[in-house]
Amino acid sequence: MKGHAFRPHTHESADKVDSALESSAEGIRALWISLAVLGATTVLQAAVVMVSGSVALLGDTIHNAADALTAVPLGIAFLLGRRPPTRRYTYGYGRAEDVAGIIIVLTIAASALAAGYTAIERLANPQQVNHLSAVAIAALVGFAGNELVARYRIRVGRRIGSAALVADGLHARTDGFTSLAVLLGAAGVAVGLPWADPVIGLLITLAILLVLRQAAREVWHRLMDAVDPALVDKAESALTSTPGVLGVGDVRLRWIGHHLRAECDVIVDSGCTLVQAHHVAVQAEHSLLHALPRLAGALVHPDPQPRNGIDHHAPLAGHR
């Protein structure tokens, strides 16, 4: 009966909810830790800006402050993602992470524009920088703080499957590059090359644009429901190995927040009773849950095996 899709019930539903809450809590914890590290870095750099008058360091401080503030949309997205589905938002609020990812990409783009503008302005109007050693130390602190935050966010984001958190980590890395530009610029000024800092700033702007491209591509893939083809291969392999599954039809995977959802068609013996087909579908979902750790749920539809080479119940014949 093609008109009915089985949604296998499972005793693991409570575990799924706990896992979702745990991953969201881990993401929020990563944001708070990142905010604390970048906040301390920003305060230190701001103090050095006041005594040195370094325009480059001022720009780097602004970038770090902006990066710290990107924790706000992500934190809101993670909190929204913990809310249960409603009759209007039947899949829940996981897509809020994609919206946060867009905001982060726009922030990276703004940082690139600011870095490029500052570099060009410094080429046209060189600035005297005092206390170069303090500026160099502040630049190193800025780079170290941003790189630590970047690695932490990217690692946690990939572990919990959050593209937005990964993009935010890449953004922190761009600000680390800006800090290195300040350091190299200070070195250039120290050896009598006042134009070194803005030239290096332009090169760093290009590096930021490359990171922007990577972050934008990742967020675009998520918005377009793209998944790693290897995940589809794993899903098909898990379904094929399920007892009672004679073949696998269409397999669809999509990310909602940092969890996967699946819709699959499997072929079962045409002589199966409704109860037997339902049992195969339940086992198929269990196989998927074991094969795909980030899977939150699956809709498995059993189709009867075609006879005489004619399939009157071909999967996805414009219905569902």
At 204 the pLDDT is: 75
Measured in whole angstroms, how far is the alpha carbon of residue 118 from the centre of its chain?
29
At 8 the pLDDT is: 43
pLDDT category at 121 given cuts 50, 70, 90 is: confident
What's the rounded mean pLDDT across residues 87-113?
A: 87
At 180 the pLDDT is: 80
| Strand ranges inside the chain, DSSP E | 247-256, 259-268, 295-304
Phi, psi of 257, rounded to the nearest 5 degrees: 70, -130
What's the rounded mean pLDDT across residues 246-256?
A: 93
The crossing angle, in degrees rounded to 10, of helices 71-81 and 163-190 is: 170
pLDDT per position as a tens digit, 212-224: 888 889 889 988 9
- Average per-residue pLDDT for the chain: 80
How many angstroms separate the CA atoms of 183 and 196, rounded? 11
Instruction: Give residues with Cβ within 8 angstroms of 316, minimum separation 6.
Output: 249, 250, 265
Instruction: Give the residue, 27 or 7, on which the prediction is more confident.
Output: 27
How many angstroms separate the CA atoms of 259 and 16, rounded? 10
User: 152 vs 1, 98, 119, 168, 212, CA distance in Å?
Assistant: 49, 20, 29, 10, 19
pLDDT of 50 above 60: yes
Instruction: Give the residue, 211 or 252, on which the prediction is more confident.
Output: 252
pLDDT category at 24 given cuts 50, 70, 90 is: low
At 82 the pLDDT is: 81
At 306 the pLDDT is: 76
pLDDT of 262 above 80: yes
Note whether 74 and 165 are within 8 A (CB): yes
* Domains of the chain as residue ranges with CATH: 13-223 (1.20.1510.10), 229-304 (3.30.70.1350)
pTM for the structure as a whole: 0.71
DSSP state of 80: H
pLDDT of 252 above 90: yes
Cross-strand partners of 255: 260
